[in-house]
Amino acid sequence: MADMSTGAPSQSDSSALTICCPTDASLNRVPLSRLGDGPKCGRCHSLLFQATAVDLTRENFDKHALKSDLPLVIDLWAEWCGPCRMMSPNFEAAAAILEPRVRMAKLNTEHEPAIANRYGVQGIPTMIMILRGREVGRISGAMPTGSIVQWVEKQLQSL
């Protein structure tokens, strides 16, 4: 695994990470040394890091959550939820700060209740960090950008 705070490989790491494309969900191998160089998808040629949260659906969820080597930070939300709407721009701003160390994503619990149920989500907004399918952190409640970034940084330090 790479040291996600610096992008440097750890002793047991290979020289590349598998990154899921935010546009077409194809899997790409990206050398650790190139993470910050604006890597593009080998299939659709979109930027792999777009400084915005990816919308998760049942079609792309497992590729992002299970097959990517990047920690996935998911904002679970719903349109009717006032605190969720209040937090949304903060989460987007955090994506621009935290990429390429993590993939920020949003999951509408009204559109994808089965995924929310899989992770036992009982209240929204909730943020969950997942690494290769395993939940490594969770927090609930609306947060400002700085608090989102701090929470993610703390989770990365524990990996």
The series of mean pLDDT values per 10 residues for the chain, 159 residues long, is 42 76 97 94 97 97 96 98 97 97 97 96 97 96 98 96
CATH number of the domain encompassing residue 49: 3.40.30.10
The residues annotated as belonging to the active site are 81, 84
Q: What is the DSSP-derived secondary structure letter of residue 40?
A: B
> How many Å apart are CA 33 and CA 151, to the nearest integer?
25
Number of domains into which the chain is organized: 1
Query: Is 122 in a helix, a strand, or coil?
Result: coil
Provide the residue range defining the domain that includes 13: 2-157
Predicted local distance difference test score (pLDDT) of residue 14: 65
